[in-house]
Structure formats: C-alpha cells, structure tokens
Amino acid sequence: MTEIVAYFYPEHDIPSNVIVSQTTLEEYFNEIRELCERHSKILQRTYVQIFAKKGGKLIISFNGFLKNHYSVNEEYIEYESIIKEICKEYFDDAKERNKIIINSVEDFKNVDIEIRGYAIPQDYDYGPIYGKKCKMVEVSEVLKYVVSTWPEEDHNLQFEIWTREEEYLFCIRRDLETIHLKKENKFNLTKEMIREALGIK
C-alpha cells in the first residue's frame, strides 16, 4: 500500500481552496471519484497532485484544463488503467459538458468570470494591474469599488471581462458606461445584454 499526500484544487489557480488528503493511493482513487462528483461543474478548471508520502515524489497528476488530462510517474505505471478510467469518466469531456451557454441575461449573470484591469497601454505587455474572479452578477459592485479607490489621473483605466476558461467577453471603460465588443463575439453578446447584466441603465 502506497501512502500518499494528495492536493485537489477545484479551481487550479486558487490555492486557498485546496482539499488535502493523507491516505493510501488505493483508497484515494475512491476519494477522488467522490471529489470529482462534488465538483463536476468545474472539473475543466481542476488540478490534482498526488505525492508519495515518503520522499515527496510526484507520482500522479490530473489537469482538467490540459488536453492530456493526466501524467503518471513510470514507477507507478501499473495504476495507469485506473487513472485512464477516472479521466474518461470525469475529465475527458468536462470542458464540453460544462461549456458556457448564454441564451439570456440570467444565463449571463451566472457565468464565472475574471476581471482584468489596465490603466495604460503598456500594461498589456506586462499583464493586468488589477484582477478579480467572481460571478458576472457581481461585476458592477466590484468595478464601482475599484474605480472609487483608483487615482483619478488614470483616465485610461479600463477592464476586460473574460470567462474563467480564457474566453473574451467584453471591455468596459472607467466611466462604467462605455462598452466595447470585439469582432469575434463568440457568445453573441450585445451591449444591451451587458448593461442589463451589470445593472446599468
């Protein structure tokens, strides 16, 4: 029986949400199935690392956001059939199963999004100077707070809104009224839909 320490990240880039397990590898295969059931709506963003308790070697990992959803240390290749089975059942079609569909403003309000704030054009070369993950329905209050605390001289402040799966939605300027859509508008959003979802008259 291989003793392990496993880390299950429901949201791969939010370490504070990690679920830590200390058990045996054999028992963890049952536990990971339970965790996958519990977090089925976000498995496309889930990351799992399983380490040998003795020596700390990484022996198995699952990556819901990568095309190849698992890797296994060659010393543990005997478990690959179980790992493949777990991937097939939970990870392989998670992105398709959980893909975002926006048919109404109510659908839009419930989308998990990421806000990326930029104050000057050069910021695009170095990444956003402000970032926040939340539901679309929360965006308006978040942006009002950010704008109220931001230096007034940053007239170029604007925010890009992306899905958690890295799909661009729209951009909104500091005035929280001026909205820009890109030509490739995957979700067929309109400015009216966006304003309604944000609660902007």
* Percentage of the residues of the chain whose pLDDT score is greater than 90: 78
CB 8 within 8 A of CB 46: yes
Chain centroid offset of residue 171 CA: 19
The pLDDT of residue 71 is: 95
Residue 11: band (very low, low, confident or very high) from pLDDT cuts 50, 70, 90: confident
* Secondary structure (3-state) at 2: coil
> Across all residues in the chain, what is the average pLDDT?
91
Report whether pLDDT(84) > 60: yes
pLDDT at residue number 13: 74
Instruction: Identify any residues that bridge with 60 across adjacent strands, giving them in sequence order.
Output: 50, 72
Can you tell me the distance from the alpha carbon of 49 to that of 118, in angstroms, rounded to the nearest whole number? 33
Residue 45: phi and psi, rounded to 5, are: -115, 15
- Residue 126: its pLDDT value, please? 67
| pLDDT of amino acid 119 | 82
DSSP character string of 61-102: EEETTSSS-EEE-GGGGGGHHHHHHHIIIIITTHHHHT----
The pLDDT of 105-126, averaged and rounded, is 83
d(CA 196, CA 102): 14
Section 68-75 average pLDDT: 93
Task: Read off the pLDDT of each residue in 136-154 and give the average, rounded to a whole number.
Answer: 90
The Cα–Cα gap between 167 and 44 comes to 14
pLDDT in tens, 157-172: 899 999 998 899 999 9
If pLDDT is split at 50, 70 and 90, which confidence band does 65 have?
confident
Name the pLDDT band for 124 (thresholds 50, 70, 90): low
Which of 109, 62, 113 is CA-nearest to residue 83?
A: 62
User: Is residue 123 over pLDDT 60?
Assistant: no
The CA R_g of the chain, rounded to the nearest whole Å, is 21
Given a cut of 60, is residue 134 above it in pLDDT? yes
> 177 with 163: CB under 8 angstroms?
no
Which stretches does DSSP call E strand in the chain? Answer: 3-9, 19-24, 47-52, 58-63, 70-72, 112-118, 130-135, 158-163, 168-173, 179-180
